[in-house]
């Protein structure tokens, strides 16, 4: 013990001696590298699904029927999802026909239908069913077809010089041709500074740049015109650059504590001088087109159904499949219901990840903007799937 004390004193003295070199403290160990995503499906029973018997199951049928309308127009032998996760189109003919015979209020009948035609599989990532679920909505903004009065913020249509092609990894990328070479398209900051003024025309004008930015984040929306009519907008294209969320930008600057979308919107509107430059740090820009139909159109190509459509990562879950969701609302109330995978999103990445569509208007905005919940989901696959490509027994 005495020898240890003498050694400690010697070390301390050496460290304080004039001219003695100071050694930097050792670096902390590097954080463990996250394991690569590994999607898996665990066979389950409907009795395993919490709240299965409490859901108003027939409410998902309009969304399912929209998927069926799209699906059954395709070749019989076409695979549903990557590697034929959902079998082939032919495997859906009879279930889709049976779904149409169920009354809109027959929730027990809807449950019997799903139990008879589908098998639930718990989705996991590296064996864990824990995932993240957020929400989105369809903004509705006052606006005009022309620039006048307070309506000075343009909603641009697809530029004439924008080119879309398939990249080396198979994904679609956007840019333009310059001197015979494909180059990245202009960023948000460049576009808002007038870089493509001769290439893109506004299809509508709105009042508030913050609300326009939120429209860009959501991907679809409605413009309520001065005569009371509604102009529904859907994505025509993007500039192809990376999406950077405004909430992340504000958090990284230490400017905000409430990083929910309602909190972000309130901060941006209260600080207009800073808001423009901060929003321009998101380089991604969305170009719009007018659409018709009962709701915003998701990536599957069908109108979304409020409270029954969800955005997923299509690398893992095929668009058009039913899911049973087990998460919570922003209020803390359970959110357990059948939904349809009918959309995708730039920030929706990972095997157990979802973005729940709340609908249109301010109430939907409040719920969507505050939702960031843990949860899990089951993928419902047809019991009769073509074994040649189904890949799941």
On whether residue 74 sits in a domain, the answer given is yes
Residue 118 has pLDDT above 80, yes or no: yes
Query: Measuring CA to CA, how many Å separate 127 from each of 124, 131, 351, 375?
Result: 5, 12, 11, 14
Same domain, 335 and 203: no
Q: Residue 384 burial (CB < 10 Å; 0-12/13-18/19+)?
A: middle
CATH number for the domain spanning 78: value is: 2.40.40.10
Instruction: Please give the average per-residue pLDDT across 51-61, as a whole number.
Output: 97
Q: For position 26, what pLDDT does the model report?
A: 52
Predicted confidence (pLDDT) per residue in 217-265, tens digit: 888 899 999 999 999 998 999 999 999 999 999 999 999 988 888 999 9
On whether residue 234 sits in a domain, the answer given is yes
Instruction: Please give the average per-residue pLDDT across 317-341, as a whole number.
Output: 96
The mean-pLDDT minimum among 20-34, 84-98, 198-212, 299-313 falls in: 20-34
Q: Which of 276, 242, 245 is nearest to 259 (CA)?
A: 245
Q: Dihedral (C-alpha) 211, 214, 218, 223: value to the nearest 10 degrees? A: 10
- The residue range of the domain holding 352 is 39-133+303-390
Q: Distance (Å, rounded) from C-alpha 67 to C-alpha 340?
A: 8
On whether residue 108 sits in a domain, the answer given is yes
- Tell me how far the alpha carbon of residue 165 is from its chain's centroid: 22
Q: What's the 3-state SS for 25-83?
A: CCCCCCCCCCCCCCEEEEECCHHHCCCHHHCCHHHHHHHHHHHHHHHCCCCCCCECCHH
Residue 18 has pLDDT above 70, yes or no: no
User: How many distinct helices (H) and strands (E) make up the chain?
Assistant: 11, 17
Residue 11 has pLDDT above 60, yes or no: no
Q: Dihedral (C-alpha) 81, 83, 86, 88: value to the nearest 10 degrees? A: 90
The edge-to-edge listing of strands for the beta sheet with 286-290 is 153-156, 202-206, 140-144, 221-224, 230-238, 286-290
CATH number for the domain spanning 223: value is: 2.40.240.50
User: Predicted confidence band at 356 (pLDDT cuts at 50, 70, 90)?
Assistant: very high
Q: In total, how many domains does the chain have? A: 2
Residue 393 has pLDDT above 70, yes or no: no
Predicted confidence (pLDDT) per residue in 168-220, tens digit: 777 778 999 999 999 999 999 999 999 999 999 999 999 999 999 999 988 88
Q: Distance (Å, rounded) from C-alpha 336 to C-alpha 340?
A: 13
Same domain, 260 and 350: no
**Is the sign of the CA dihedral 158, 161, 162, 163 positive or negative?**
positive
More confident of the two residues 313 and 12: 313
Q: For position 33, what pLDDT does the model report?
A: 60
Q: Does the pTM exceed 0.75?
A: yes
The mean-pLDDT minimum among 31-35, 135-139, 288-292 falls in: 31-35
**Beta strand extents in 126-212 (DSSP E only):** 131-138, 140-144, 153-156, 163-166, 172-178, 181-184, 202-206
On whether residue 31 sits in a domain, the answer given is no
Same domain, 74 and 216: no
Q: How is residue 178 annotated by DSSP?
A: E
Q: What is the CA radius of gyration of the chain?
A: 26
């Amino acid at each position: 013990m005495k020898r240890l004390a003498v050694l400690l004193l010697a070390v301390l003295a050496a460290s304080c001696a004039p001219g003695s070199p100071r050694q930097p403290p050792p670096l902390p160990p590097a954080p463990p590298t996250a394991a690569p995503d590994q999607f898996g499906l665990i066979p389950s029973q409907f009795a395993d699904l919490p709240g299965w018997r409490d859901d108003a199951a027939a409410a998902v049928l309009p969304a399912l029927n929209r998927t069926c309308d799209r699906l059954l127009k395709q070749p019989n032998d076409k695979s549903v999802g990557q590697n034929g996760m959902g079998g082939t189109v032919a495997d859906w003919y009879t279930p889709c026909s049976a779904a149409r015979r169920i009354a809109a209020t027959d929730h027990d009948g809807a449950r019997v239908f799903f139990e008879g035609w589908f098998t639930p599989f718990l989705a996991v990532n590296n064996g864990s069913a824990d995932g993240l679920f957020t929400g989105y909505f369809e903004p509705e903004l006052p606006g005009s077809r022309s620039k006048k009065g307070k309506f000075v913020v343009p909603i641009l249509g697809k530029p004439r010089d924008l080119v879309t092609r398939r990249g080396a990894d198979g994904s679609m990328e956007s840019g333009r041709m310059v001197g015979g070479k494909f180059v990245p398209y202009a960023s948000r900051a460049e576009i808002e500074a007038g870089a493509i003024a001769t290439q893109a025309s506004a299809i509508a004008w709105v009042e508030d740049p913050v609300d326009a930015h939120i429209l860009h984040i959501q991907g679809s929306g409605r413009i309520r015109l001065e005569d009371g009519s509604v102009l529904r907008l859907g994505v025509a294209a993007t500039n192809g650059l990376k999406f950077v969320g405004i909430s992340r930008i504000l958090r990284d600057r230490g400017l905000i504590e409430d990083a929910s979308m309602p909190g972000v919107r309130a901060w941006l509107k209260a600080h207009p001088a800073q808001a423009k430059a901060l929003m321009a740090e998101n380089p991604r820009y969305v170009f719009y087109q007018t659409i018709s139909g009962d709701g915003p159109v998701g990536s599957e190509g069908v109108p979304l159904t409020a409270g029954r459509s969800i955005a997923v990562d299509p690398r893992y879950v095929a668009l058009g499949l039913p899911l049973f969701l087990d998460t919570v609302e922003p209020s803390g109330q359970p959110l357990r219901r059948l939904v349809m995978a009918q959309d995708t999103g730039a920030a929706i990445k990972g095997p157990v990840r979802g973005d729940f569509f709340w609908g249109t208007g301010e109430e939907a905005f409040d719920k969507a903007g505050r939702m960031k919940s843990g949860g899990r989901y089951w993928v419902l696959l047809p019991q009769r799937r073509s074994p040649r490509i189904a890949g799941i027994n």
